Structure 1
Amino acid sequence: MRIFVLSGQSNMAGRGVVSQDGVVPPECTPDPRILRLSAALQWEEAREPLHADIDTTTTCGVGPGMAFARAVLASLDAPGPGAEAGLGLVPCAIGGTAIRKWARGERLYEQMIARSRAAAECGEIQAVLWYQGESDTISDHATAVYRENLEKLITNVREDLGMPQLPFIQVALASGTETNIEKVRSAQYSVSSSLPNVVTVDAMGLPLNEDNVHLSTGAQVKLGEMLAEAYIKKFLAPPC
């Protein structure tokens, strides 16, 4: 099973609309080959909202995870190595969390590592999908040290999982405090230039909900497909 860790804050956890009847966009519908690791560390068929039992401080909705998984799965349906392979999603994102809460030794970081290790017993971790940083645009100090903290996070995760080349596919912010958002975005791009196997997918310009913070349902679908495209192009495509 190809395993992907979904982490960060609310835009990864998902705030897109899931109807009362559980209706979601077709790109986010369940597939028996796509599983999720529950809060109780049990594999189950993945369905939106993926983070319902993880980010329990609010009501979760559609995020990029299912659209990402279905797009990757479609690429694996082609004849050749990996055909008919299953995908495992490991939701870890928690809304409203600054990057300092994801430092080694902090509860959220250790929980992410523990969940990743449990998932790895059933397959190989392919990548971490990371969407975080809105909370760090609020503070000038947090903004100033964001690059350092992000580099530490990636380095620590790779060390603790014993995967020095583990791919990180991060999302450049689409929202945040106006005075600092470009500084955090710049830090995100700097990290993708300084560390190997770090790819940045830019969410800027994708439609937001009325709160001007969270991506709309359609934007989450688009982001999931963008993340899948980045993974397929950089890490799945056969070498020339």
Structure 2
Amino acid sequence: MDSTLENVAYSPKNVFILSGQSNMAGRGGVEKHHWDGIVPNECHPDASRIFRLSAHLHYEVACEPLHHDIDAKKTCGVGPGMSFANAIKDQVEAIGLVPCAVGGTAIKEWAHGQHLYVNMVKRARAAMSHGGEIKALLWYQGESDALSQHCVYTYKANMEKLIHDIRADLHLPSLPIIQVAIASGDEKYIEKIREAQKAIDLPNVVCVDAMGLQLKGDNLHLTTESQVKLGQMLADAYLTHFAPQEPCVASS
């Protein structure tokens, strides 16, 4: 093992959970189960400041695709995580990304006690055990719930319960949540899911709207360029609403 793993840089203080389904896991550049390997400049690794928690709960230098060993049954490509981290790294100390997203998952699969939820909590706690402070949960999910009327009607309550549960289990009652209003899904119910997402009115919960970002030919997943843009939108939301502000210095 690389001896630099013992370096303090591998115990990032600012931790961000990346969770939800495939658009968070990243399908940018993926066609026919093959990733083209193209990494935009905004997503380049930074070995001194941006790290990811692996499936084995060890930190390593973060690079695309961030979810390759988490959403392991699918082919992962570019997601929003790296462009998010690169966009905030000059305002914060070392960043720890905790990928947890799994493609094709409905909100009920993230309920308290379900495998996906348990794994997310376990990974978050592991990041905290490395000395990190969880600064926000970035959440992009809902396309799978745009498939039935029942899922639509229960989405808001289920998402609110997820927020309460994760805050309670991590003992972080004010944990910032930045959720994405979906940009794709079944046309019959997509607007109802978006309405539910934007209607969540809890403290320290903000919504970033992905509608209008370009989709791939499957009309479901964001393109690489759109993922870069989304990451920057998430970064703007974090820096605007949650990042500690530098104190103003009066001029003499």
**TM-score scaled by length of structure 1:** 0.93
- State the match for 1:101 in structure 2: 109
Deviation at 1:121, TM superposition (A): 1.5
- What amino acid sits opposite 1:58 in the alignment? K
- State the match for 2:222 in structure 1: 215
Q: How does 1:116-131 map to 2 (within 5 A)?
A: 116-122=124-130, 123-131=132-140
- State the match for 2:97 in structure 1: 89
- State the match for 2:90 in structure 1: 74
Q: State the SS of the aligned residue for 2:89.
A: helix
In 2, Cα distance between equivalents of 1:182 and 1:59? 28
In 2, Cα distance between equivalents of 1:17 and 1:181? 24
- State the match for 2:9 in structure 1: none
Structure 1 unmatched runs, 5+ = 77-84
Q: State the SS of the aligned residue for 2:135.
A: strand
Larger-gyration structure (1/2): 2
Deviations 1:13-62 (A, max 9, x none): 00001797843000001001100000000100000000000001110000
Q: How does 1:158-177 map to 2 (within 5 A)?
A: 158-177=167-186
Q: State the SS of the aligned residue for 1:204.
A: coil
Structure 2 unmatched runs, 5+ = 1-12
Aligned Cα root-mean-square deviation (Å): 1.4
Deviation at 1:69, TM superposition (A): 0.2
Deviations 1:78-102 (A, max 9, x none): xxxxxxx100000000000000000
- Identical residues among aligned pairs (%): 60
Q: State the SS of the aligned residue for 1:230.
A: helix
Mean Cα deviation higher: 98-107 or 10-19: 10-19
Following TM superposition, the consecutive aligned residue runs of length 4 or more in structure 1 with deviations greater than 6 angstroms are 18-21
- State the match for 2:40 in structure 1: 25
Relative to structure 1, the CA distance from residue 21 to residue 144 in structure 2 (aligned partners, 3 Å threshold; closer, same or farther) is: closer
1:59 paired with 2:75, answer yes
1:232 paired with 2:239, answer yes
Q: State the SS of the aligned residue for 1:30.
A: coil
How many equivalent residue pairs? 230
- State the match for 1:203 in structure 2: 210
- State the match for 1:42 in structure 2: 58
**TM-score scaled by length of structure 2:** 0.89
- What amino acid sits opposite 2:19 in the alignment? S
- Contact kept in structure 1, 2:29 and 2:37, CA below 8 Å: no
Deviation at 1:185, TM superposition (A): 0.5
